[in-house]
Structure 1
C-alpha cells in the first residue's frame, strides 16, 4: 500500500508493532460507521443518562438553589471538558492517519508522549478553575446560595479533570485502532460507578450536592483505570521518549489547538444562554438545565459520530482512499437524520412525563415543552455542524471547524438570543435554534467541497 509521504529523505519507521492492520480501509463504510457510532453512543448514553438521573436526584431534594447550582457548575465544567475533547480529537486524528499508513510504531511514540502533555494541561486548567470558581460563576449571573453551592461542587470536581482527560484520550486511542467495543467499556465503567454511588452519596450519606461531586471524582478515576486496562494488547503505549515531546506536540497540537478552539465555542455560546436565562429566575435556569441534560442522552448517537467517524476518515485518508472518506461523511449524515427524527417523536410523546419527573415549575415547564415538541428538530443542523467539524479536523482543515463553531457561538447565538430575550426565556430558546440552522447548513456544504478537492498525498500524517 502506498505511503502518505514519499519523501526519500525521510527516515522510514520500522513497523514492529503487533497492532492489527488498519481495519477501516476495507469493507462496508456504513457498517463501520454504524458499529463505531453505535458502540460509542451506548457508552455516551450511559454516562449522560447517569448525569440526567443525578440531576433528578438533586431536583428531588426540593431546593431550587441546588438545581440552579448544578446548571451553573455544569456550564463551567463544559468549558473544561471541551479543552479535553479538543486534545483527544488531535490525538485520534493523527494516530488514525499513521495507523492507516501502517506506521504503528510512530503512532505509539507520538501518542505516548502527547498523553503526558494532555494530563499536564488538564491539571493546570482544573486547578485554575477551582481557584477562581466564585468569580467565574458570578460572571454567569450566579449569586447567593446557588453560587456558593456551585463553587463547592467545582472545588471538589475540577482538580480531578486530568483523570477524565486521560480516560477520554485512552478511549480515543481505542477508537483510532478500531476497537469500538473496548472504547465503549471505558465510558460504561464510569457510568456504572456513578450510577451506583450517586444515590448512596446523595441520599444514603446525606451529602447532597457534595455527594454528587465526590461520586463524579470516583467515576473519573474509574474511567482512567478502565482506559489503561482496555488498551492492553494494542501496543499503543510505551514509556514516553524525551525526544518525542516536541514532535508530538507540534504534530498533534496542529490539530488539537484549533480543535480546542472549536470545542470552546459551544460552551461559550451556552454560557451566554445561561446568563440570559439567569435574568428570568431560578425556574428558567432549572428548565434550561433540564434541556442540557436531556440533549446528550437523546442525541448520544449524533455526539458519538464526531468521535467515531473521525478514525474512519483518518485511516482512509492515510491510505489515500478518498472516495471512502466521502462515503463516511454521507453515512454519518444519514444516521444523523434518522436519529433526530426518532428522537423528536419520542420527546414529543413523553414531554409531560419529563416535566413531572424533574418537578419543573413556572416558565421551566414552558421551556421544556417547547423544546421537546418543536425545537428538538434544530438538532438536525447541530448534527450537520458536528459531522462537518469531524471531517475538517481529520482532513487537514481544522481551522474551518473553528470558524464555523465560533460563528455559530457568536453570530449564530448572541444576536439571536439577545433579540429573543425580549420575548422571555422561550424567545431565548427559539433564537438559539434559529442561529444553528444557518451555520450547520453552511458547514456541511463546505465539508463536501473539501473532500472533492482532496488529492492523494495532500494531507500527511
Structure 2
C-alpha cells in the first residue's frame, strides 16, 4: 500500500514538472526569467569560444585565428540542422503540454532525441571525410587551410553528441526548466576553459588542443543534460514508448523549415567570409574575432529567440492569443534595452576590445568599426529572431524559412557587394547590418499581423499538409513563389469549402421546391 502511494506521489511530481507553466502569471516575468537563465547558458558557450580565440591569439599567428573562422563557417551550417531539430522538438513538446496532454510529452521527447542523434551521425560522416574540400569552398587556403582541417577533423566527431545535448536543453526550456537547462552548458564551459590552456600550451597541441578541449566539453554537456533531464522528468524519458513515425512527422513539420531557416544565417555568413577573404588574412581574422564577440555580447538576443518559443507554444496550445501578443511586446522591450546598453559599452571600449585579442592593422579596424557602428543593428536582428520564434510556434514555420532566406540573399548579397565596392571590408560589415535592419522591421510587422488575427492561431491544420514545399522558399526566395505555394497547400481546404457551399445551395433549393409544392397543395 505504501509502495503504491509512493509511486503515485512520484508520478504526480513528475506530471507537475511538465504542467503548462507559462499560461498563467506575468508574461514579462516569464520572458525575463527564461531569457536570463538561457542567456547564462549561451554566454558560457560563447565565452568558451572567446577563450579559445584568446588563447589561440597568444600563439601569435593570424592564420590560426582565420582557421577557426573558416571552420566555424562550415560547422555553423551543420549546427543549423541540429538547431532546427531542437526547435521542432521543443515546439511540439510545448504545444502538447499547453494543450494539457502532458502524458504524451515523454514519448515525444525520446523520439525527438533519437531522431536528432541518428540524423547528425549520418551527416557527420561525409563532413569528416570531405573536410578539406568543404573548407576550400569557403576560401581557406595555404597554412590557414591546413590548420582549419586539423581543428575541424576533431570537433566534427562531437556533432551527434552536441545535437542531443542541444535538444535536451531545448526540451528543458519547453517545460519551463530553463535553470536546469543552464547547468549543462555552464559546466561544459568550465571544462573547456580549464582544458584550453592545458591542451594548447602545457601539452603543446596548439590549435588541435583547442579542438580537443571543445570535444571534451561537448561530451560533458550531453552527459550533464541527460542527468538533469532524468531528474526533471524521470528515467522513463529515455525509454521507447512507440509512436515514432507519428512524432517524427509532427517534429519534422517544424524542424525542416526551422533547419532551413537556421541554414540561411551561415549561408549569409559564409558569403560574408568569402567576400572579406579578398582583403587578406587580416580581414578574415578580424571577422573571426567579431564572430566570437557577437554571440557573447548579444547572448540575450540569441537567448530570447529560444526563450520566447516555449512561452508562445504553451499559450497557443492553451488558446490564449492575448498572452501571445503580450509575449512579443515584452520580448521587444527586453531586446531594445539590452542591445542599446551593450552597444553603448562596446562603443566606449572598442579599442580595448580589439587590444584584448591582439588585433592589429585591418583586423583592429574592423573590430572597432563593428563595436562603434554596426553593433546597434542587433535591435533589428533581435526583432527578426523573435518573429521567427513566433512563426515556428504559430503553424507558420515556413514563413520564418522564407524570411531568413530572403534576408540571406536579397537582404545580404546586394548590400555586401555595394559595401565592398564603396568601402572595402568595412563596407561589407556595414552592408550586412543594413540588411538586418530592413528585414527585422518587415518580419516583426508580419508577426504582429498574424497575432492580431486570432483565427491564425486557433485553427487546426490538415495533417496531410505537404511540407516538402518548405524547401522551395530556401531555393526561390520570391514573394510570388511563397504565395503560390501557400495557395497550393490550401487547395484541399478550398475544395472542401466549395463542396460545403454547393451542399448548402442544393439543400436550400430543395427546401424551396418542397415549400412551393406544399403551398400549391
Among 22, 47, 52, the alignment partner of 1:54 is 52
Gaps of 5+ in 1: 1-13
Report if the CA contact (8 A) 1:347-1:372 is conserved: yes
Q: Residue 25 of structure 1 aligns with which residue?
A: 23
Residues 129 and 154 in structure 1, CA contact (< 8 A), matched pair in contact too: no
Larger Rg: 2
Query: Is the contact between residue 97 and residue 315 of structure 1 (CA under 8 Å) also seen in structure 2?
Result: yes
Q: Distance in 2 between matches of 1:366 and 1:55?
A: 18
**1:110-125 correspondence to structure 2 within 5 Å:** 110-125=108-123
* 1:185 aligned residue: 183
Residue 16 of structure 1 and its aligned partner are, at CA, apart by 11
Aligned counterpart, 1:360: 359
Deviations 1:178-226 (A, max 9, x none): 0111011121121111111111111111111100111111001001001
Deviation at 1:148, TM superposition (A): 1.1
Cα deviation, 1:252-306, whole Å, max 9, x if unaligned, reads 1000000000000000000000000111111000110111011101111110011
The whole-number CA distance in structure 2 between the counterparts of 1:227 and 1:35 is 20
Q: Contact 2:54/2:357 (CA < 8 Å) preserved in 1? A: yes
Kept in 2: contact 1:15–1:104 (CA 8 A): no
Q: Does structure 2 retain, via aligned residues, the 8 Å contact 1:92–1:311?
A: yes
Query: Equivalent residue for 1:217?
Result: 215
Is the helix fraction higher in 1 or 2? 2
Kindly report which structure 2 residues correspond to 1:232-243, keeping only aligned pairs within 5 A, or say none: 232-235=231-234, 237-241=237-241, 243=242
Scaled by the length of structure 2, the TM-score of the pair is 0.84
Give me the TM-score of the superposition, normalised by structure 1. 0.94
Q: Distance in 1 between matches of 2:346 and 2:191?
A: 27
Determine the C-alpha separation between the residues in 2 that align with 1:202 and 1:217. Answer: 14
| Deviation, structure 1 residue 15 | 10
Question: What's 2:140 paired with?
Answer: 142
User: How far is the alpha carbon of 1:356 from its aligned partner?
Assistant: 1.0
Asked if the contact 2:63–2:285 (Cα under 8 Å) also holds between the matched residues in 1, the reply is: no
Q: How many residues align?
A: 447
Please list the CA deviations of residues 23-50 of structure 1 after superposition, one character each: whole Å capped at 9, or x if unmatched: 1110000000000000000111111012
Query: Which structure 2 residue ranges, 5 or more long, are not aligned?
Result: 1-10, 464-521
Q: Which residue of 1 aligns with 2:384?
A: 385
Which secondary structure state, in structure 2, belongs to the residue aligned with residue 396 of structure 1? coil
CA RMSD of aligned residues (A): 1.6
1:394 lines up with 2:393 in the alignment: yes
Distance 2:460 2:133 in 1: 43
Residue in structure 2 matched with residue 10 of structure 1 by the alignment: none
Please tell me whether the aligned partners of residues 16 and 105 of structure 1 are also in contact (alpha carbons under 8 angstroms).
no
Residues 102-155 of structure 1: per-residue CA shift (max 9 Å, x gap) = 111212111211211110111122222111111111111110110011011111
Shift of 1:459: 4.5
Tell me, yes or no, if the aligned pair for 2:295 and 2:302 is still in contact at 8 Å. Answer: yes
For 2:85 and 2:136, the matched residues in 1 are separated by 28
SS at match of 2:319: coil
Per the alignment, residue 162 of structure 1 pairs with: 160
Following the alignment from structure 1 to structure 2, what is the Cα–Cα distance between the partners of residues 22 and 366? Answer: 49
Q: Name the counterpart of 2:67.
A: 69
Contact persistence 1:15–1:105 (CA under 8 A): no
Are 1:346 and 2:349 matched, yes or no? no
- Please point out which of 202, 205, 208 is paired with 2:203: 205
User: Which whole-Å CA distance do the structure 1 matches of 2:308 and 2:285 have between them?
Assistant: 34
Say which is worse superposed, 232-241 or 99-108, in terms of deviation: 232-241
Runs of 4+ in 1 over 2 A off after TM superposition: 14-20, 454-457
SS at match of 1:148: helix
Residue 451 of structure 2 is matched in structure 1 by 451
Aligned mates of 1:312, 1:366 — CA distance in 2: 41
Q: Which residue of 2 aligns with 1:4?
A: none
CA distance in 2, matches of 1:124, 1:436: 33
Higher RCO (CA-CA < 8 Å; seq separation 6+) = 1
Work out whether residues 138 and 273 of structure 2, in 8 Å CA contact, stay in contact via their aligned partners in 1: yes
